[in-house]
Amino acid sequence: MKLVIAIVQSEDAGDLIDGLTRRDFRSTRVKTAGGFLREVNATLLIGVEDERVDEVLTIIRETCTTRRQYVNPLPPVMEPGELYMPYPLEVEVGGAICFVLPVERFERY
């Protein structure tokens, strides 16, 4: 058995959970925040049999697409009286980061 940890953008999480559920995969969604853009993410914990890991990763790959978005960078620390007008930056967001970990033991109560 494996544990797939998938970190996805919040707007993809609902569709991903629906896609996993249609294929009889169970998942747990945890609300998380990214470190770089400080935006809300979703982390999904998915327990899966070894032979079905590729199926889960395919569902994630098909559901969680990347897209371009404009963000305002955080202003630097400034002295009082200084003015800083940040210009929006275009960045790529979305997609998924996946970790596949071995599970030594699994129990359901």
Residue 107 counted as domain residue: no
Please tell me the total count of domains within the chain: 1
- What pLDDT score was predicted for residue 40? 81
Residue 1 has pLDDT above 70, yes or no: yes
Question: Which residue range(s) make up the domain with 38?
Answer: 2-74+86-102
What is the predicted pLDDT for the residue at 34? Answer: 72
Predicted confidence (pLDDT) per residue in 20-49, tens digit: 999 999 999 999 987 665 678 899 999 999
Q: For Cα atoms 34, 57, 26, give the angle at the middle one, nearest 5 degrees.
A: 85
Domain assignment present for residue 81? The answer is no
In a domain, 80, yes or no: no
Give the CATH number, domain containing residue 52.
Answer: 3.30.70.120
CB 98 within 8 A of CB 46: no
Q: Which SS3 state, helix, strand or coil, does residue 53 take?
A: helix
Could you report the per-residue pLDDT of 51-72, keeping only the tens digit for each?
999 999 999 999 998 878 777 6
CA 19/CA 13 separation, integer angstroms: 10
